[in-house]
Amino acid sequence: MKRTLKWIAIIVAVVVVLAAAAVVIVPRVVDLNRFKPRIEKQISDATGRPFTLGGEIRLSLFPRAGIVLDDLRLGNPAGFSQGDFVSIKSFELQVELLPLLSRNLVVERFVMDSPRILLVRNKKGRANWGSVAGAARKVPAAPDAARVEADLSAAGLPIQSLAVGEFDIGNGHLVYLDERTGARNEVSALNLRLEEISLDRPIGVDLSAMLDGLPVTVTGQVGPVGKELGLQPIPLDLQVAAFDELKIQLDGRLENLSSEPGFDLKVDLAPFSPRKLLAALGQPFPVQTTDANAFSRLALTAGVQGTGTAVSVAEGVLTLDDATARFSLQAKALEKPAVVFDLKLDAIDVDRYLPVPSPASPVAGGGASAVAPGPDYGPLRKPEIDGALHIGELKVSGGTIRDIALKVTGRKGRYGFHPFSAALYGGSLSGNGVFDVQGNTPRTSVDLNLKNIQAGPLLVDFAKKDLLAGTLNAVVTLSMAGDTPARIKPTLNGKGNLRFSDGAIKGIDLAGMARNIQSAFGLAETPAQRPSTDFSELNVPFTLTNGRFYTPDASLVSPFLRLSAKGSAHLVQESLDFRVEPKVVATIKGQGDTAERSGLMVPVLVSGTFAKPTFRPDLEGLARQRLQEAISDPTKLKETLGRDKQSLESLKEQGRSLLKGLGIGN
């Protein structure tokens, strides 16, 4: 037995001596450079690209295994005339040998100098990083993910521990070219240093680069990665700084890398200026906003979780200039996607962010805007949306809407807003609506209920018109198609009833027009004060048909006057055609006035355009009306003619004066 052990010891000693001699002698005796042509050919055959080793192969085996390669070049496939696909100036790897006997991997040095990668998409759309010869070969089916996880769990890594002394990639360079568009992006001066690399401790990360000439840095820690690589979460604590403007903090972890990769991160984007960022990138700001200081500050904090198929955001806070939005979001089936969200915005002035109006706008219903192609609504047909939105204060078109609340649902390009509500100028707005982009032309329908809204301030703020005062209550149903005013106007259809109380029509004295032809229709001196028509109630029932507004029986009630109106307004042509019929109230006893009211009441015709309405007395209609009244009671005809002779003579003279004032007749 002792003799046997002795011989075993001798054999082992001989093997060790021979191995030691081999690792010392072989690198000195064997010239590996003789095998360079064979190595180059095998790699070229495997990739379908030319491969060369320009420098010598230097190999060492003791006291550590090491290899040094210089001037490595992997060329482009056929059809690309640019430089090499990948080139490396030098590469060095040194590994301790003795620790390998106990499955401990100790890397003394991993250094790569001046790696360069050139990515090109040619004019035919082919990319030089694909279509290698080996890709056509039959590739074994990918193993089942569950089996891979089980195998990894059972086997773990083939090493017990990992330690890397020096890991350094210096002066890296990556260029992307698109010959179809002429686009070029470049990452230069790329340096990556990893510190304290091991399986059971965090790995220090220090990366710096220039992206299209602007600095980008990533610093922090990753790990520990653990011995069961891919089966346990990998913590992250990274700080990203880019372009001297962006600063992002990422805290969290990567999960399930071996099966279904995912992440759970806290994102903190420090305040920055989008305007300054684009300026630093040499890009113009995409829109000239009404407020030149808009988009001067943007910040974001949020908790983000996700996998390859779903993403969720919790406790999100987005700040844009003076506005702050708090939100949450869940998105599944990202190719659709299916989105559920909740957004609460404190206040925003939308007018600040709108484009500066063009000085030369085409006329309504014509010009380039009427025939210009609309946007592509295809992307809006994909999502499935379920969300809730609340806005504390919204300023738009000069007006202010508060406490906006609505729920949004969307399926296959049809979006429902039901219900929605808002506080509006002392009153409230509620209703529901639908926005449909299933076809190439968007279609919209709304049902509105307005209660106790102060019409005067609303019109001044939104329309910049001081035309009407009073409290508005209304029920309105509308439908329309199109995405611009020129397209929408001819498609407007609907109906409703507008009821104003305790107000006035400003700029028009309908009572005066009905009583005094000369003063009301511009044939007398202009009054010192702006005229108006006070009312206790104004009712306007209406229908809309293809952009034509029609009211069959609008009515105005004031203390001493009753008016009824019938006619239409053409929204496309912006033309007016109304007849206002006065009905006098003899006295307003009981309302603070006992004076007798008298005078000849004349119907008023309203025509012209929205910008320049015209008003004229309906003398023909008045005469016909008086005649019909007289004929209906023959016994009073003579008495009526006698009593009104003087009034009719006066009316005749006033009519002649009116026609002369209009440039008609002598």
Sorting pLDDT into bands at 50, 70 and 90, what band is 62?
A: low
The predicted pLDDT at position 101 comes to: 67
Q: What is the pLDDT of residues 201-225, one digit of tens each?
A: 898 999 999 988 889 999 999 988 8
pLDDT over threshold 50, residue 591: no
Could you tell me if residue 545 is inside a domain?
yes
Given a contact cutoff of 8 angstroms between Cβ atoms, the answer to whether 409 and 434 are in contact is no
Sorting pLDDT into bands at 50, 70 and 90, what band is 271?
A: very high
Q: Rounded to whole angstroms, how far apart are CA atoms 330 and 313?
A: 6
Q: Rounded to whole angstroms, how far apart are CA atoms 510 and 120?
A: 76
The predicted pLDDT at position 628 comes to: 58
The CA-based diameter of the chain, rounded to the nearest angstrom, is 160
Q: What is the pLDDT of residues 301-310, one digit of tens each?
A: 999 999 888 9
Q: Rounded to whole angstroms, how far apart are CA atoms 558 and 504?
A: 10
Q: What is the pLDDT of residues 232-263, one digit of tens each?
A: 888 999 999 998 889 999 999 988 877 788 99
Residue with tokens 């011989």: 7
Q: Rounded to whole angstroms, how far apart are CA atoms 254 and 105?
A: 24
Q: Rounded to whole angstroms, how far apart are CA atoms 509 and 285?
A: 50
Could you tell me if residue 20 is inside a domain?
no
Sorting pLDDT into bands at 50, 70 and 90, what band is 374?
A: low
Contacts of 187 (CB under 8 A, 6+ apart): 172, 173, 174, 175, 209, 210, 211
Could you tell me if residue 528 is inside a domain?
yes
Q: What is the pLDDT of residues 595-608, one digit of tens each?
A: 444 444 678 788 88
Could you tell me if residue 135 is inside a domain?
no
Pairing of strands 262-272, 298-307: antiparallel
Domain count, the chain: 2
Q: What is the pLDDT of residues 99-121, one digit of tens each?
A: 666 676 777 788 889 999 999 88
Mean pLDDT for 637-644 is 52
Give the range of the structural domain holding residue 104, as residue numbers without chain letter.
Answer: 31-130+158-219
Could you tell me if residue 450 is inside a domain?
no
Could you tell me if residue 534 is inside a domain?
yes
Strand partners, 416: 409, 434
Segment among 480-494, 522-536, 566-580 with least mean pLDDT? 522-536
Tokens read off for 584: 């006098």
Concatenated DSSP letters of 404-444:
EEEEEEEETTEEEEEEEEEEETTEEEEEEEEEE-SSSS-EE
Mean pLDDT for 463-486 is 89
Could you tell me if residue 201 is inside a domain?
yes
Given a contact cutoff of 8 angstroms between Cβ atoms, the answer to whether 187 and 174 are in contact is yes
DSSP state at residue 564? E
Could you tell me if residue 311 is inside a domain?
no
Q: Rounded to whole angstroms, how far apart are CA atoms 219 and 249?
A: 10
Pairing of strands 414-424, 64-74: unpaired
